[in-house]
Structure 1
Amino acid sequence: MPRPLSLALIAAIALSGPVAANPDLGAYLAARQAGLTQDYDAAATYFGKALTRDPSNPALRENALTAQIAVGRVENALPVAQAMLAEGQNGQMANLVLLAEATRTEDWDRVVDLMEAGLEVGPMIDGLTQAWAFVGKGQMDVALEAFDEMVETSGLRSFGYLHKAAALAQVGDLAAADDILSRPPEQGVVPSRASVLTHVQVLARLGRFEPAQEVLDEGFGPNPAPELRAIRAQVADGVVPKGAGMADTPRAAVAHLFLSLAEALQGGEAQPSYLLMYAQAAAYIDPDLARAHVMAARLLDEIGQHDLAAATFARVDPADPAFLTAELGRAEALRAQGRTEAAIEVLSQLARGHDDVALVHASLGDIHREAEDYAAANTAYDTALSLYGPDHPSRWWVTYARGITHERMDQWDSAEADFRAALRLEPGQPSVLNYLGYSMVEMGENLDEALAMIEEAAAARPDSGAIIDSLGWVLFKLGRYDEAVTHMERAVELEPVDPIVTDHLGDTYWMVGRAVEARFQWRRALSFDPDPELAERIRRKLEVGLEEVMHEEGQTPADMAYDTD
């Protein structure tokens, strides 16, 4: 695995010679900073400039092409990779670019030549790409031998069998493909999205639509993602689903190979920046592979490059079944950028074009709620709930979210009804228990029930600062100040810069006679930029004390544990 870009950038500076004497020192420093912050667009620009000053520097070359791959401009990385090959400079990312280009152009002789010359990306990529090159060359016997080699390679059996089955399906040997895909996982292919859809297509092409439906249902359950619904409908109608399998050409199969490696490594120790290389290479090899664009965009979003993520999501063709998923992702990337209105517009357009998809309306409700347009959020949630089935796993969440919007609009009866309905759908759900319990505490209602709810939530999530704060706060409201202190101190440990939690700790200290510490916590809370109403209340407490503020507000505190004078 190559070094992360941030570390490689440091190496680039170290290896590039006496940069202090270089008149273009700014490009080096800018490239280094861009790499450290994973700003790949800027890194690509500044490494390009630095490379013009020192065109043969191997570290600069590696980092320049890595940045270009990251932003999805693999074609800009190609000249650098070719120069490295010509001058005997070896690098994993350069090899990846060369292999991706040869595959994209379906130059199978070139792929084989590169492999035989010793070019290496990784065992899985190398072996399966070469096997597909033989398929592309029409040498199926050699290809099958190469696939069998991968089957015998430790850790690659499932991948080898899947690609062998896909190759057999491409050349029309559907029975042999079905035989491989029908084997139990320990003897054949470990189930994955690709294996399930490839098997579905093979069975449909064999005219076996009922088994195809069974495989589809077993693989994706009763509530599949929106892009899978069209496939389900086609199979139900006795139609072979177009494009459902892993790939229908060797080029598309290699693109899927690159993508599947990134998917297989996701969630492990591999950094998102490393996985991004393979996702972008897959999209370069086959621009029609929408899932590659979606994965690259999600990785960019995870890294914090929300603008690049939004642009990458936008590469998915509106006619592609994955377009809905991509647009939902684009809206989230725009929201993360702070471009809430743009995100709302994306989701509003999506809702008009996909008015029967509950997830779209639920997502629109979420972003309206975040923008504090609670009426619009409520409308969207109503629509989503009218579309979700009674047993849909997302129903509890949307019901809970609608309860929040009712509560924010001071519609407590409706809010409480939604919270309790959400708990019936998802008993013991900590977030719902906490929100309902805390709301009742704030209203001074059902404090014993609220305490029981929040204690249950805290037992489920003992490291949630918000829930531990709620537990301390209900004890405060019940006048159990000594107990409240312990929980409030723990809540501040978990949420050290939350103004509300810190303010609550100050109140609790005050009620046990620790006035100096209370004022210290209130001042800390002010430093965390609370909303104006809370800030004014804290300032008033600092002036006259908590009990006077409560008296001014018409509240009657429980018997104070200690005299604060």
Structure 2
Amino acid sequence: MKSRLKNIVFGFSSLCFFVGVAPAFASEPVVLHRDNAIELGNLYADSLTGTYAQNVGDAKLAAAAYVSAWEHNKSDSELFDRAVRAYMVFGDIDNASKIVIPADKALLNDDAKLILAYNALLSGKAGDVNKLLPFDKDSTVFTPTRALFARNLKAWALAKEGKKDEALKIATVPAGIKSIDKAANYSRGLLYQYFGDNEDALAAYETAYQSGAINQIGIESYVKLLASTGQKDKALAVLNELKAANASDSYYDNVYKTIDAGKLPALKKKDKKQINKYIGSSLGVISIAQSGDFRNGSPLSELAIARKFDPTLYSLNVTSARILSALNIDDDAVKLLEAVPADSLNGDQASSLLASIVFDKDKAKGVAIAERALKANPSISNRVSAAVYYIDTKQYDKSIELYNSVIADAASSTSGFEMWQLYFGRANAYLGIEDWDNAIKDLRKANELNPGNPSLMNSLGYTLADRNINLPEAQKLLEDAVALDPRSGEVLDSLGWVLFRMGKYDEALDRLEVAFSLSPGVGEIAEHLGDAYFRTNRKTEAKLEWEKASRLYEKDSDKARVLSKVEKGLENLPKSKMAQQ
């Protein structure tokens, strides 16, 4: 038993060295009883799991494994650090707090102190924040963006103690990243507002806005203060500018509707909920700015902390959900989005993102979410989203109806979508019902509105080839598209296909071989290549390509078609996949 245990220890140490991670336990030889050996074995196993999960990017599994390992040895600072950091990567502040709050003070790193500081400020113990976050240069190991966030959290603790000058001084220390420091002016504006200094607050907001920092929470704070200080026209002008630039996003349009000339409610320094809204907005501004720059790590913990102060800041839910979804932590993303009321400023954003996440796993549920959003607000963005989902679920008539209404409305207003995108979307719906004339008409319109777009040229050229219509025109379109995008397997395939349709089999084969080398996982290209091999009397190779296509295709109808070719060959000029849908 002893020798076998030594081998286990040596194996784990070697693995840690291999992946560049120091073993998170004592390296001195020890004498173990059976129970201790089992306990230590569990520690090793959990540590290994955490290291593996961290290396493959599974922060949730890493956190759970490191916490489990730390439970076996609560004096191990390395395991404690890893568990805290893993929780912070995906913004699980509640579980991070559960292990940090009762932990031995000797274990506390800067991240742990930040968690304690936010808990202290949230519970009204501002003095504890200043002790936890002294910001001595020799002690802090925060990344620049986390340091900025922590300084602003401390600034609010100082503000609650009435220390205006100290609060503003620490809040003005930059992170050194221009985009984030620009947005931080909005956060500083909220501090000025807290102290009743609306003039300096507006100056800070104006500095942020004029620098190009577009931050939802910051903009909302800015325009509401403008409106409440008798500058409603300027507030509306700012929102009109943002609506024009982001019209496919209904957020600024929703804010527009909330602006009036009335004064903002007077801040009551004893109103904890109201003060927490200021703190949440201020920290939320910084965390949203961080989300646009990942050079300093995940901002999910900062977003989660800001939400703790004001759970109604739904911009934070949407931003967090986008990041979680990108990390494939969809369940947590869905929970955050489902918590956003449909009639809130961010309702449309949340519904759109929720539908896209859910749709991948449950198309019917995704469509239902999009339809609810459409019913609540028939904005252009909601109509386009639903139209796209209808195409994906073969509800082509519904999609066409929505696109018709959007194109009619967009023609007379700024929609946020370029017109060619709308015609292109409707063309795909027409293709679904095999209305070739209208599909080609819309594809021509899209190409006219956005000339030189190889994707649009490819779509029109392929559709013409597929229908044996105007093949010389299709060839010219696709040759031009290839010149613009020579590394696209799909575009080369389309050119090969039109040459095949024209009976130029050798030329077609040349293009299709290159197309498949560029996109070897596309069943349609493999099928076309097989067709070209067959027409150039290379029938063995044709069968191999058709068999390959049958493995690459997902639909049974596609598989059956190409397997029929394997059995019967290619007697007549084949109809394409598109023509058979």
| 1:41-60 map, 5 Å | 41-60=60-79
Q: 1:530 to 1:175 in 2, by over 3 A?
A: closer
Separation in structure 1 between the aligned mates of residue 191 and residue 117 of structure 2, nearest angstrom: 19
How far 1:327 sits from its partner (Å)? 1.5
User: What's 2:195 paired with?
Assistant: 171
Q: Does 1:79 align with 2:89?
A: no
Equivalent residue number for residue 115 of structure 1 = 133
Deviations 1:127-175 (A, max 9, x none): 3333332222211122233344449x68575355443333223322222
- State the one-letter code of the partner of 2:83: A
Distance 1:531 1:403 in 2: 23
> What is the CA-CA distance between 1:368 and the residue it aligns to?
2.1
1:469 is paired with a residue whose SS is helix
Shift of 1:305: 2.2
Answering whether residue 232 of structure 2 is matched by residue 213 of structure 1, we say no
- In the alignment of these two chains, the number of paired residues is 532
Q: Check if 1:376 corresponds to 2:395.
A: no
The sequence identity of aligned pairs, in percent, is 22
Q: Distance in 1 between matches of 2:206 and 2:236?
A: 14
Partner of 1:537: 561
Q: CA separation in 1, counterparts of 2:296 and 2:540?
A: 49
Q: Which whole-Å CA distance do the structure 2 matches of 1:217 and 1:189 have between them?
A: 18
> CA shift at 1:82, angstroms?
3.4
Q: Distance in 2 between matches of 1:159 and 1:352?
A: 34
| Residue 12 of structure 1, CA deviation | 7.7
- What do the CA deviations read for 1:503-559 (whole angstroms, capped 9, x no partner)? 11222233344444333322222222353333333233333433x2538x79xxxxx
1:166-565 equivalences in 2 (<5 Å):
166-183=190-207, 189-193=211-215, 194-221=217-244, 223-224=246-247, 225-235=249-259, 238=261, 249-266=277-294, 269=295, 274-336=298-360, 338-354=361-377, 356-390=378-412, 392-394=415-417, 395-546=419-570, 548-550=571-573
The worse-fitting range, judged by mean Cα deviation, of 391-400 and 488-497 is: 391-400
SS state of the match for residue 87, structure 1?
helix
User: In structure 2, the residue corresponding to 1:491 is in which secondary structure?
Assistant: helix
Paired letter, 1:78: S
Inter-CA distance 34–375: structure 2 relative to 1 (3 Å threshold):
farther
Residue range with higher mean Cα deviation, 407-416 or 121-130 = 121-130
Task: Quickly say closer, same or farther: Cα 1:239–1:507, change in 2 above 3 A.
Answer: farther
TM-score of the aligned structures, taking structure 1 as reference length: 0.82
Task: From the superposition, tell whether residues 305 and 183 of structure 1 become closer, same or farther in structure 2 (CA, over 3 Å).
Answer: closer
2:158 maps to 1:137: no
Change (3 A) 1:491 1:315: same
Whether contact under 8 Å (2:489, 2:518) holds in the other structure is yes
Q: Tell me how far apart the structure 2 counterparts of residues 130 and 293 of structure 1 sit (CA, whole Å).
A: 23
User: Alignment partner of 2:340: what SS?
Assistant: coil
CA separation of 1:265 and 1:481: change in aligned 2, threshold 3 A: same
| Cα deviation digits, residues 281-308 of structure 1 (max 9, x gap) | 3323432221221111111111122222
Aligned CA-pair RMSD:
3.5
Cα separation, partners in 2 of 1:56 and 1:279, compared to 1, 3 Å: same
For residues 308-350 of structure 1, the C-alpha deviation after alignment (integer angstroms, 9 at most, x for no partner) is: 22122112234421122111111111112x1111111211222
Q: 1: CA distance between counterparts of 2:436 and 2:177?
A: 60
Give the secondary-structure state (helix, strand or coil) at the position aligned to 1:295.
helix
Contact 2:255-2:345 within 8 A present in 1 as well = no
Shift in alpha-carbon separation, 1:448–1:480, aligned structure 2, 3 A: same
One-letter identity of the residue aligned with 2:167: A
Contact kept? 1:294, 1:326, Cα under 8 Å = yes
Q: Say if 2:89 and 2:299, in contact at 8 Å, map to a contact too.
A: no
User: What are the superposed Cα offsets for residues 165-200 of structure 1, whole Å, 9 maximum, x if unpaired?
Assistant: 332233222222333444598xx8443225544432
Distance 2:18 2:163 in 1: 43
Amino acid at match of 2:467: M
1:207 shift after superposition: 0.6
2:92·2:301 contact (CA, 8 Å) conserved in 1? no
* CA spacing shift, 1:376–1:504, aligned 2, 3 Å: same
Of 13, 16, 23, the match for 1:14: 23
Is 1:99–2:127 an aligned residue pair? no
Instruction: Look up the equivalent residue of 1:255 and give its one-letter code.
Output: L
What residue in structure 2 maps to residue 562 of structure 1?
none
Equivalent residue runs for 1:53-72 within 5 Å: 53-69=72-88, 72=91
Q: Which moved more, 1:369-378 or 1:441-450?
A: 369-378
Q: Deviations over 1:370-408 (max 9, x none)?
A: 122323333343344454344534243233222212112
Instruction: Show CA shifts across 1:455-508 (max 9, x none).
Output: 333334333322221122112222333333333223213321111111112222
Opposite residue 131 of structure 2, the aligned amino acid is D
The answer on whether the counterparts of 1:255 and 1:286 sit within 8 Å (CA) in structure 2 is no
How far off is 1:441 after superposition? 0.4
Cα deviation code 1:251-276 (max 9, x no counterpart)? 2244315413422414xx456xx233
